[in-house]
Amino acid sequence: MKRILVTGGCGFIGTNLVKRLLSRGDYVIALDNLYCSDISNSEIFQDNPNYLFLNRDVRDSFDDIRVDQIYHLAAPASPKIYMKDSIYTLDTIVKGTLNALECAKKNGARIIISSTSEIYGESQINPQNEDYNGNVQPMCLRSSYDESKRCAETYAYCYYKQYGTDVGVARLFNTYGPYMSLQDGRVVTSFIESYINKEPLYINGDGNQTRSFCYIDDLIDGLIAYMDSNISGEAVNLGNDSEITINTLADVFMDIVGEKLRIEYKAAVENEPYIRRPDLSKAQRLLNYSYKAALRDGLKNTLDYFEKNYKKDEE
Ligand SMILES: NC(=O)c1ccc[n+]([C@@H]2O[C@H](COP(=O)([O-])OP(=O)(O)OC[C@H]3O[C@@H](n4cnc5c(N)ncnc54)[C@H](O)[C@@H]3O)[C@@H](O)[C@H]2O)c1
């Protein structure tokens, strides 16, 4: 039985990953300070003897934990949350990654660092492949997240080169699904929150900006395939390579709920990238990864999850 540490293990991706690893029979330690998640995501697993929750902060060393593998996910991930306290964001991503790499080094463990498509910034190429170096501003509202993730990647590369640490960097693109936080301000949850509260769908800008929405189950497949591979010292994109506008997302959403909803357009968010689509050929070649979930199915599962949980809160 492997001992696997998931930092940020109570967040959206963390909870889905913990669930999958436990179902596979691993021993899983979820480390999280609950900065932007809820203890209820840990309580789901509390009766499982192979699960341990540690309420700890990745900004402090955690190399006392004995592990074989580490998925390093801890970070405030939604713009609404990471912009609230930029210094916290910088510290968590930079120091947290350093501590995660130290933990891996001390244990001789394999580690996957979660990076982001945001390291490509306002991309001048589409789709974005791993050789593109990005177009990122060091001084703007999004910089605390984008630049610290770039620094996290550099830490990963340097640990690989200097200490031989067995590390992979996963560049994650927009992902959605059950166990997201309804109030995190990301577009899928924002639509669902509006629908549940009978409000209009809010869209920033003209809605012609594009995103490629990845359903969580595919992302978890990709992360586990990466961990179980022997690919080290590399960055690999993971996500969905089919791109749609936010207006199209709204149309599909209305189709699923079977209602014509009012759309309210708001000011575009400063420095928000206009296009976003991963080139997945490296993931396909190295990890045999390809995206599978249909948008309609993923959105329906996510909506069902929130409707069920919303009703629970109401009772
Ligand atoms: N969800 C996406 O679409 C997406 C896209 C690109 C990259 N990512 C990356 O994937 C990772 C997970 O994202 P998510 O969507 O699950 O985010 P999330 O906000 O749902 O989860 C992040 C978790 O990290 C925890 N955390 C924050 N600061 C911490 C600290 N100092 N110490 C310990 N725990 C801390 C939070 O409490 C939360 O449980 C992040 O690193 C994010 O940057 C996510």
- Listed by start position, the domains of the chain span 3-177+213-241+274-292
**Which pLDDT score is estimated for 315?**
45
- Amino acid identity, residue 208? N
| Pairing mode of beta strands 214-215, 175-176 | parallel
Q: Distance between CA 191 and CA 303 in Å, rounded? A: 10
How close is the Cα of 84 to the center of ligand 1, in Å? 15
Q: Output the 3-class SS for 59-125.
A: CCCCCCCCCCEEEECCCCCCHHHHCCCHHHHHHHHHHHHHHHHHHHHHHCCEEEEEEEHHHHECCCC
Q: Is the CB of 35 under 6 A from ligand 1?
A: yes
Which of 39, 83, 116, 277 to probe ligand 1 with, by most ligand atoms within 8 A of CB?
116
How close is the Cα of 75 to the center of ligand 1, in Å? 4
Residue 81 CA: which ligand 1 atom is closest?
19
Residue 119 · residue 237 · CB < 8 Å = no
Residue 174 CA: which ligand 1 atom is closest?
3
- Amino acid identity, residue 106? K
Q: Distance between CA 71 and CA 46 in Å, rounded? A: 20
Q: Is the CB of 36 under 6 A from ligand 1?
A: yes
Contacts 24+ apart (CB under 8 A), 308-312: 310/182, 310/196
Q: Is the CB of 75 under 6 A from ligand 1?
A: yes
Please choose, from the candidates 156, 116, 160, the residue with its C-alpha nearest in 3D space to the C-alpha of residue 136.
116
How close is the Cα of 72 to the center of ligand 1, in Å? 9
Q: Is the CB of 127 under 6 A from ligand 1?
A: no
Q: Each residue's pLDDT tens digit in the chain (315 positions)?
A: 999 999 999 999 999 999 999 999 999 999 999 999 999 999 999 999 999 999 999 999 999 999 999 999 999 999 999 999 999 999 999 999 999 999 999 999 999 999 999 999 999 999 999 999 999 999 998 999 999 999 999 999 999 999 999 999 999 999 999 999 998 889 999 999 999 999 999 999 999 999 999 999 999 999 999 999 999 999 999 999 999 999 999 999 999 999 999 999 999 888 788 888 999 999 999 999 999 999 999 999 999 999 998 755 444
Q: What residues contact 236, with CB distance under 8 A and at least 6 apart?
A: 130, 168, 169, 170, 171, 226, 282, 283, 286, 287
How close is the Cα of 89 to the center of ligand 1, in Å? 10
**Which pLDDT score is estimated for 273?**
82
Entry pTM: 0.97
How close is the Cα of 285 to the center of ligand 1, in Å? 27
Kindly report the backbone phi and psi dihedral angles of residue 14, in degrees, each rounded to the nearest multiple of 5, phi listed first: -55, -45
Strand partners, 3: 27
Candidate list 145, 159, 195, 215, residue with the active-site label: 145
- Amino acid identity, residue 142? R
Active site residue 145: yes
How close is the Cα of 227 to the center of ligand 1, in Å? 18
Q: Is the CB of 13 under 6 A from ligand 1?
A: yes
Q: Is the CB of 77 under 6 A from ligand 1?
A: yes
* Residue whose CA is at the smallest distance from ligand 1 atom 1: 175
Which of 212-245 are b and which e, b meaning 16 or more Cβ less than 10 Å from the residue's Cβ?
A: bbbbbbbbbbbbbbbbebebeebbbbbbbbebbb
Residue 74 CA: which ligand 1 atom is closest?
24
Kindly report the backbone phi and psi dihedral angles of residue 152, in degrees, each rounded to the nearest multiple of 5, phi listed first: -60, -40
Question: How far are the Cα atoms of 93, 266, 282 from residue 150, in angstroms, in the given order?
Answer: 10, 30, 19
Q: Distance between CA 221 and CA 225 in Å, rounded? A: 6
Q: Is the CB of 11 under 6 A from ligand 1?
A: yes
Residue 175 · residue 219 · CB < 8 Å = yes
Please choose, from the candidates 201, 176, 187, 175, the residue with its C-alpha nearest in 3D space to the C-alpha of residue 302.
176
| Pairing mode of beta strands 244-245, 210-211 | antiparallel
Q: Is the CB of 143 under 6 A from ligand 1?
A: no
- Alpha carbon 26 to its chain's center: 21
CB atoms within 10 A of CB 96: 24
Architecture of domain 3-177+213-241+274-292: 3-Layer(aba) Sandwich (3.40)
Q: Is the CB of 18 under 6 A from ligand 1?
A: no
Residue 207 · residue 274 · CB < 8 Å = no
